[in-house]
């Protein structure tokens, strides 16, 4: 095992790859030789992110396709695009799609609940079902779903988000069992609070930020690049005996 993070000749799809943790993981895969398609709703942001990463001289190349993770037709269009671009199948799927609407239970509207569930859980179900044949065609298959520490612990005003991420965690474990016979591994990464767009509301409120940090033994939010090693490990061909697992990257929150 000279270089366990050698991804040359590997093909990856990163949902949510133009921002936040998804963008950090995309950059790492490109840097180590993978060819990556990034996908999200925002075509302009996708183009800017992809052009920026391609200008860095990484070993791998980036391309992009817009997708609405809540739409089955849109997901099918994406999978058709991936199939045309990667004719030898797909090695790596990173699902970093997600949204969060914060409210106490008595203020959660039905539409809010449905939006979060559709983006965080129903979309993952349709995505996995649609991409299965491409993973099975490839020399090796790795799936990483970005869950959350709120899939196993929670926090006020996170009922919708925690429920969706808890569902994603157990969904991933179940698919890991089903796909083990094909040599496809399915794992999750559960980040704690990171300095990304999804936490903007927390970061703008200094008192709330400090309240969050008081729960974290390392007393700070994570930097986006601190997710990279966990992602590269689970995406690597060498992680072939790791499936159905969850790597928690949270500065110690869930241990305190």
Active-site residues, by number, are 161
- Asked if 20 contacts 194 with a C-beta cutoff of 8 angstroms, the reply is yes
H/E run at residue 233 = helix 228-235
Q: Is 53 left (phi over 0), alpha (psi -120 to 50) or beta?
A: alpha
Taking the C-alpha atoms of 177, 179, 185 and 191 in order, what is their torsion angle to the nearest 10 degrees? -60
d(CA 178, CA 122): 18
3-state secondary structure at position 176? helix
Structure token digits, residue 169:
């965690």
- Cα–Cα separations (whole angstroms), residue 7 to 16, 36, 137, 183: 20, 11, 17, 18
3-state secondary structure at position 246? strand
What's the burial of 40, exposed, middle or buried (CB within 10 Å: 0-12/13-18/19+)? buried
Residue 144 CB coordination number (10 Å): 27
d(CA 10, CA 90): 8
Order of strands, sheet of 184-191, starting from the edge strand that comes earlier in the sequence: 62-66, 35-40, 11-15, 92-95, 141-146, 184-191, 246-249
């Amino acid at each position: 095992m000279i270089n366990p993070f050698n991804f040359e000749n590997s093909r990856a799809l990163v949902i949510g790859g133009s921002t936040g943790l998804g963008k950090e993981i995309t950059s790492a895969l490109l840097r180590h030789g993978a060819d990556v398609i990034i996908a999200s709703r925002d075509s302009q942001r996708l183009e800017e992110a992809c052009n920026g990463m391609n200008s860095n001289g990484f070993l791998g190349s980036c391309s992009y396709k817009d997708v609405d993770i809540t739409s089955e037709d849109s997901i099918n269009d994406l999978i058709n695009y991936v199939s045309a671009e990667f004719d030898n199948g797909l090695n790596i799927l990173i699902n970093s799609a997600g949204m969060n609407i914060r409210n106490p239970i008595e203020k959660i509207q039905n539409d809010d609940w449905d939006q979060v569930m559709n983006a965080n859980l129903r979309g993952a179900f349709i995505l996995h079902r649609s991409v299965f044949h491409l993973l099975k065609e490839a020399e090796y298959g790795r799936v990483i779903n970005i869950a959350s520490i709120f899939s196993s612990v929670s926090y006020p005003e996170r009922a919708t988000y925690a429920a969706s991420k808890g569902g994603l965690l157990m969904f991933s474990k179940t698919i890991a069992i089903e796909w083990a016979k094909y040599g496809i591994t399915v794992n999750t990464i559960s980040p704690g609070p990171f300095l990304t767009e999804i936490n903007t509301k927390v970061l703008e409120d200094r008192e709330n930020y400090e309240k969050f940090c008081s729960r974290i033994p390392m007393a700070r939010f994570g930097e986006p690049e601190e997710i990279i090693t966990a992602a590269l490990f689970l995406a690597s061909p060498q992680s072939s005996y790791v499936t159905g697992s969850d790597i928690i990257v949270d500065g110690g929150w869930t241990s305190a």
